[in-house]
Structure 1
């Protein structure tokens, strides 16, 4: 590969992903360092990836916002590239989160700035479709942090015409852990609120140090549709946990209706006093005052997990092109219901209860004496 792309002299490879490469380069016309993203050589034979990259160049050039990494130049001729400022002291949020969760105040500050950037794009009728920590740059700015959203390579106009997006039946565009549930089906046309869901996943990850759903792609995609996210740590303000929970709602109508709305709610949640009830200590209670042992435990989670496995099988058959999309939507409920019924028949609705030896309900002391 020549080290000259257009007027840009490539100097050092900064990063590489499935879609392209990012290089530190010298702009020979203006004598300045830039970051240039170009389509990876192995992807040049893929027309879909080429089209996606060209769309990034055009869409990113339309947006001007303080929290969106600006586009200085781009070309869709020959080897496509997009030129952006080189942020020497910036760190992507994914690298920051590799060290664990961050303080709620910092997390909310980052998310509010990304929300502002998304709102600017949404007002232009564009959605990002790949909001995630590795696409968020955090740059020191005095006592504050400047946050920049970038990589619009799979951005897409909000579709109100019914036109097909640039994707394949067996290739879902985006990163599974951050994909909104409505993007996995065909009953709801995804809109800007899919980005709101992804931003809520980012906020969850900032606060918890992990994603709501993680693991193999197929398991994550299935969980996005069927499972509720795990609770955030109890030490976080209740109001902030509620903000994240609403952002992760499966139904877009139950979600925050704009990124800015979620950002403002997160900021207000930090000012709200925590109302988390503190559990009463049980160790100092005498046996007669301890609560009785819980009743039989439900087998609901086991049954649900088996139904989830059935749905995973349906998704796998779709990805492997064993079934088409129409058959998939028929198989999905059938396999889920079938798995749940099998589990119910094997385990029953409840497991036997575990009783403490000091439970006062074991020996309540007989009947009270009769008479004086």
Structure 2
């Protein structure tokens, strides 16, 4: 019989082996999740208003002859992962499947959903650059550009199907983040009478804020050709321009996710010129990377950091210390971080 040390070492090695297996086949979870969204399984179950049988789920799939045995195997996997519930009647009736708090985020037609993001992040176009991760660490470069020979924004503009996937994914995540932001930052809007959304696209985000806080005069600021297509919103004016040249004057500036450090610092300096020195502030919604891993979203901050490396030139997530240094360099020596029920946090930055 081996020593206690030998037994402990064997146990640790076995645990390590099990962890490697889990990590190695992590893609299977992603693909099962994608299949669930593509088949609209959550929507089908939700439409019945309660637990349903496998045959009922199959009847809701857009197919004349769905493979029910294969569907059963997928459902078994999704149940094991806590995405759906399972109930086996004691009287020998058909097994039934139900919704969970997880499956609600897979609903394609829900106001708050992650379904478009699941489809986009697991699209073959998005997955191919990950094959170049180690090469770019050895030799430099960006995996996405190595895979396709161009930046992601350029690739998106040249591929309509991927462009739609990308913008649908961004729209769903923006909706989730903005809902959490607007509900948690109520007091932060009290003294703001004018607010500029820098890089606001067609103005949906600033329009939602103005609707909730009608005392605010909203300005949607983006490139001229972008705001030219923006719809009319009550309380919002669309202004075309270049954020690298100047930003419209206002009480506060709002920005969502600026990943490139040089771009962010440049924009911050222009923000500094656009707001009152004593009462102005910049409101940034972005991820604050937790070095200790103490995060309700687990390792997603680190996952997004690697994702930024794979897909975006100069993109990265930042720790609080890194944010502090960037803000100071941009003319904002004082800051405050507010956690919200979403992956990003609110970062308030003040010139004084």
Question: TM (normalized to structure 1)?
Answer: 0.27
The structure with the largest helix share of the pair is 2
The structure that has the greater radius of gyration is 1
TM-score by length of structure 2 reads 0.28
